[in-house]
Structure 1
Amino acid sequence: MMLPTCSVPHNEIQPFHILNGLQELAQTRNFKAWFLDQFGVLHDGKQPYPGTISTLENLAKSGAKMVIISNSSRRSSTTMEKMKSLGFDPSLFVGAITSGELTHQNLQRRDDAWFAALGRSCIHMTWSDRGAISLEGLELQVVENVEEAEFILAHGTEALGHPSGAASPKKLEELENILERCAAKSIPMVVANPDFVTVEARALRLMPGSLAAKYKELGGEVKWMGKPDEMIYKSAMAMAGVDASDSIAVGDSLHHDIKGANEAGIQSVFITGGIHATELGLGSFGDIADLSLVQALASKYDAYPSYVLPAFCW
């Protein structure tokens, strides 16, 4: 049984269709647009998953428009460059929309009342090993003293940005201590990557959403950019020139990808071999998840996929 294309009722187990591959779905439903998560679906941050590239090529041959929607804190152009470096053909995609891109655009334009009220001085939490995020063009003043900050900008979980544009590595506990001081000052946070964790070479890596969740616990105000907020799905629909009924999202995070698709009123494919693999008792790529465990996990996260698939394969 397939879910309707409207918003999904909460707090009840929803039926979903188990797939062996995407071929049947692509040929029978003929969705005009596919919104694809990247980490945990297309690649693990280091290399594409087996069969992913050929699956993309087959979807493209079917006439589907494909858009990458990612909670990456980096801009869309950087995401496409990363995809190309991993062996993906950028011409297969209409484009990419990232939470980092949405963050950059809103900080730059400031045509939204919430962003217009932010001020210009910020504490910048960013990456170290992965490379700091550039704030060029945003006319922001990065400060290190909480007393001078008007908001927190969370791009990463490894370092604290300096006014020079450089960044110094920080332990998670150190960043959380800064958050405690910011919460006491009641300054808002913009989180440019709402993910709690991501898949990286089969391991899980802590993402900025974890800092945002901590800040919320402390009583801080958080602006979540990206999935599961429907804003990123609406942007993807606009990019592909489609409406909700012609769209389907593919992702490995129930809380972000699938719940976001539910909120946006579009159907979804849950890839079980991503960040929930351990929770589902999966040891190897392509392992089939136990249906009852998937149902229990969907109820836990209040996120209900239309279809379930072990991996992004044809």
Structure 2
Amino acid sequence: MRPSCSFSSNEAQLFQSLNGIRHLAETRRFKAWFLDQFGVLHDGKQPYPGAISTLKTLSKHGAKMVIISNSSRRAATTIEKMNSLGFDSSLFLGVITSGELTHQYLQRRDDSWFAALGRSCIHMTWSDRGAISLEGLGLHVVENAEDADFILAHGTEALGHPSGTALPMKLEDLEKILESCALKKIPMVVANPDFVTVEAKALRVMPGTLAAKYEKLGGEVKWMGKPDKIIYKSAMLMAGVDASDCIAVGDSLHHDIKGANMAGIESAFITGGIHATELGLSSFGEVAESSSVQDLTSKYDAYPSYMLPSFTW
């Protein structure tokens, strides 16, 4: 019997433990595969063992593959990154990132919530990783809450300057700015809802941390990515499939798996990503105890259909 993708938080959770994706691929049960990148395909610096060949084999089995990522970068930048790491981007139907969705919604303004936003924003961005360009959006970057209509959070390392440069800033200082913004009750758009991400075996703080802080301060946040349904709906539209025809693969219970639950699609949880330490895993491909995974899924109220150590065949 196939595991259900809809759960209530107080019932026993069932998931199937797999060594790789071969069984799922060979049954051709899923027409479309929505793949997270960091923690599943690569660690930001290099591909995970087997990931490149697994994608090629999956493609030969007729799967439509879409990368869905909470990256604050545009889709084209993600494609360039994937190619530079040795992946064949032609295997994917496309890439949908939180950054791409944010850019499109801010540019089109055909959504009522975005149409009501002003044009002046406080921009939280990256410095070491390279600031995010706001070109083509018609926005006016300001430095004070008094002058801002909204906050745009792309990164956690710097404050965007009206000149287009980025002023490096500690996370605590960005949080102090949020306190001033909360008093003015201006909304936030978060272009990367992740709390942390895996990068070369370390965890890096992501903009979702700022967004969660802002909500605690009473601020309104528009989450432009997983776990919100918005990114899954975009992926289904791109692949031309219904919820029953797709599966999401990710390493974050809060973002990837909970998002799949909310979108009504099945999911595969990669245990060797951001939850590896919580699960007591120390090496690539190490198998997690099912009971430990079950405890963790209950903790995050996110329930996968399948679990596997890594994205391998």
Give the TM bin, normalised by the shorter chain.
over 0.9
Partner of 1:281: 280
Instruction: Return the letter of the residue paired with 1:159.
Output: A
AA of the residue aligned to 2:124: M
Q: Separation in 2 of the partners of 1:232 and 1:13?
A: 28
Aligned pairs for 1:98-137 (under 5 A) are: 98-137=97-136
Q: Shift in Å at residue 28 of structure 1?
A: 2.0
| 1:3 corresponds to | 3
Shift of 1:9: 2.5
2:133 maps to amino acid: S
Two-structure CA RMSD over aligned residues (Å): 0.9
Query: Which residue identity lines up with residue 90 of structure 1 in the other structure?
Result: S
Instruction: Encode CA deviations 1:158-182: one digit per residue, 9 max, x unaligned.
Output: 0000111110100011101100111
- Contact 1:13/1:298 (8 A) holds in 2: no
Instruction: Give the aligned partner of residue 54 of structure 2.
Output: 55
Q: Confirm or deny that 1:18 pairs with 2:22.
A: no
Pairwise mapping of residues 211-226 of structure 1 onto structure 2 (< 5 A)? 211-226=210-225
Letter in 2 for 1:211: L
Corresponding residue for residue 205 of structure 1 = 204
Q: Which residue of 2 aligns with 1:79?
A: 78
Q: Give aligned-pair identity as a percent.
A: 79
One-letter identity of the residue aligned with 1:24: H
Q: Report what 1:237 is aligned to.
A: 236
| Cα distance, 1:8 vs structure 2 | 2.7
- 1:217-247 CA distances to partner (integer Å, 9 max, x unpaired)? 1111111110001111111011011111110
Provide the C-alpha distance between the structure 2 equivalents of 1:194 and 1:22, rounded to a whole number of angstroms: 27
Unmatched runs of 5 consecutive residues or more in structure 2: none
Question: Structure 1 residue 113: deviation in Å?
Answer: 1.1
Q: What SS does structure 2 have at the residue aligned with 1:286?
A: coil
Q: Given that residues 16 and 307 in structure 1 are in contact (C-alpha distance below 8 angstroms), is that contact kept between their aligned partners in structure 2?
A: yes
Aligned-pair distance for 1:118? Answer: 1.0
**Contact 2:229/2:263 (<8 A) preserved:** yes
CA distance in 2, matches of 1:16, 1:10: 14
Q: Aligned residue for 2:253?
A: 254
* In 2, Cα distance between equivalents of 1:294 and 1:12: 15
Q: 2:169, 2:202 → 1: CA distance? A: 21
Question: In the alignment, which residue of structure 2 is the partner of 1:93?
Answer: 92
TM (normalized to structure 1)?
0.98
**1:291 and 2:257 matched:** no
Question: Separation in 1 of the partners of 2:190 and 2:33?
Answer: 25
Distance in 2 between the 1:34 and 1:245 partners? 12
Question: CA–CA distance in 1 between the matches of 2:171 and 2:84?
Answer: 30
Cross-structure match for 1:148: 147
Partner SS state of residue 281, structure 2 = coil
The 1-side partners of 2:219 and 2:137 are apart by: 23
Aligned 8 A contact 2:34 2:67 in 1: yes
Mapped contact 2:28–2:61 kept (Cα < 8 A)? no
**TM-score normalized by structure 2?**
0.98
Aligned to 1:306: 305
Contact 1:12 1:299 in 2 (8 A): no
- The answer for the alignment partner of 2:194 in structure 1 is 195
SS at match of 2:210: helix
For residues 197 and 159 of structure 2, the distance between their equivalents in structure 1, rounded to whole angstroms, comes to 20
Contact map agreement 2:120 2:149 (CA 8 A) in 1: yes
Count of equivalent residues = 313
Measured in 1, the distance between the counterparts of 2:234 and 2:9 equals 24
Contact kept? 2:120, 2:147, Cα under 8 Å: yes
The Cα shift of 1:29 comes to: 4.3
SS of the residue aligned with 1:94?
A: strand
- 3-state secondary structure, aligned to 1:293: helix
